[in-house]
Amino acid sequence: MEKVVILNFLDQEGENNRLDSFLTTKFSEYSRSFMQKLIKNGHIEVNGEIVSKVSYVLKEEGEIRVKFPEPENFDIEPAKVDFEIVDIQDDFIVVNKPAGLVVHPAPSCRGELTLVHGLLYQFRELECFGDSERPGIVHRLDRGTSGLMVVARNVSSKIKLSALFKERDVDKTYLAVVEGHPDKSGKIDYSIGRHPSSPYKMSHVGFCSRPALTRYEVLEYYKNHSLVEAKIFSGRTHQIRVHFAAIGHGLVGDKTYAHSSKLIDRQALHAWKLSFSLKGKDNSYKADLPDDIKSLIENLKS
């Protein structure tokens, strides 16, 4: 069902402000490219007139009417997918996602099998969720990132786990191989937002930036690279990748924010440890490095 939202804007708020940027600020859960698509498709009215130019500049007081079309639905049939199940509890499942596997269906990966397909195949109780595209999903990992994820098994636990992630009460530790030699330890606290010119990238100088904090420690220096342990205290998209690129030490193999590598065909990033407390019980998990990152490290040592 189509949703309509009406916004009021003032002179000082909209003056010399592009419409797409203004809308992205107001609806931070959506990307700028999504808002641009709404504008181009005639879903935005300014003071009663349809605006189809994304660079339209707001110059006066008035009203913006935003029509959100009905979300695209995906027909998801459970299917066998290869991933490791680390633990099964009454309220949640912990999995070790392999690199290359997308977490849930999206327009950009139409027709691909995802982690959700495999979860529905092995855990039919997940069909109880109203959200058939992301049943039990409370956080994500990028396609090219491997490692630990927790998945809720029922609505009650999904609410509780989602709250833990929102309140930053989940301890997430990653291992990454980065270019160069960063300081032995440190913090990176650049805010992160949408990239100014690329709708599919994030940036520490981007639009609608939000605070982000990463702390790291170098575990081992190699000739021209380093193995680092990184902990994130916020959940921004591509956070570790953007932060290390921002300090000049991009992740090995990261084609988006650093450089491709002959030694690994994805970013060298692994969700290594995951811990949280649920219903008064502490839960801690660790997933060993996958073979491709182990092989990368051996090559860098030689």
CA distances from 84 to 168, 177, 259, 275 (A): 25, 23, 29, 18
DSSP string for 240-255: HHHHHHHTT-PBBT-T
Among 107, 142, 166, give the residue marking a domain's end: 166
| Mean of pLDDT values over 177-198 | 92
Maximum mean pLDDT: which of 76-80, 127-131, 245-249: 245-249
Structure token digits, residue 302: 């030689």
Q: Please say if the pLDDT value at position 197 is more than 70.
A: yes
Q: Please say if the pLDDT value at position 131 is more than 90.
A: no
**Does 141 fall in a domain?**
yes
Least confident residue range of 49-53, 110-114, 147-151, 187-191: 110-114
- What length is written for the chain? 302
In this prediction, residue 103 carries a pLDDT of 94
Residues 289 and 176 in one domain: yes
Structure token digits, residue 17: 């402000």
Q: List the catalytic residues.
A: 142
**Does 46 fall in a domain?**
yes
Residues 207 and 289 in one domain: yes
CATH number at residue 191: 3.30.2350.10
150, 124 Cβ separation under 8 angstroms: no
In this prediction, residue 199 carries a pLDDT of 66
CA separation for the pair 113, 105 (Å, rounded):
8
CA separation for the pair 225, 293 (Å, rounded):
13
| Higher-pLDDT residue of 33, 121 | 121
Q: Please say if the pLDDT value at position 14 is more than 50.
A: no
In this prediction, residue 12 carries a pLDDT of 44
Q: Please say if the pLDDT value at position 84 is more than 70.
A: yes
The boundaries of the domain holding residue 105 are 84-166
Residues 98 and 41 in one domain: no
**Does 73 fall in a domain?**
no
Q: Calculate what percentage of the chain has a pLDDT beyond 90.
A: 64
278, 171 Cβ separation under 8 angstroms: no
| Mean of pLDDT values over 70-80 | 74
CA distances from 106 to 73, 109, 171, 276, 278 (A): 9, 6, 27, 28, 30
Residues 216 and 153 in one domain: no
DSSP 8-class letter at 290: P
Structural domain count, the chain? 3
Q: Please say if the pLDDT value at position 28 is more than 70.
A: no
144, 100 Cβ separation under 8 angstroms: yes
Residues 161 and 100 in one domain: yes
Least confident residue range of 70-74, 94-98, 139-143, 147-151: 70-74
- What's this model's pTM, rounded to 2 decimal places? 0.78
**Does 98 fall in a domain?**
yes
CA separation for the pair 274, 235 (Å, rounded):
14
Q: Please say if the pLDDT value at position 109 is more than 80.
A: no
Structure token digits, residue 208: 């609608």
In this prediction, residue 187 carries a pLDDT of 97
Residues 160 and 229 in one domain: no
- Mean pLDDT over the full length of the chain: 89
DSSP string for 177-207: EEES---SEEEE---EEE-SS-TT-EETT-E
In this prediction, residue 15 carries a pLDDT of 46
In this prediction, residue 190 carries a pLDDT of 95
Mind listing the pLDDT tens digit for each residue in 209-250? Answer: 789 999 999 999 999 999 999 999 988 889 999 999 999 999
Q: Please say if the pLDDT value at position 259 is more than 80.
A: yes
Q: Please say if the pLDDT value at position 206 is more than 70.
A: no
Residues 37 and 133 in one domain: no
Among 166, 196, 230, give the residue marking a domain's end: 166
Residues 197 and 211 in one domain: yes
Residues 197 and 245 in one domain: yes
**Does 295 fall in a domain?**
yes
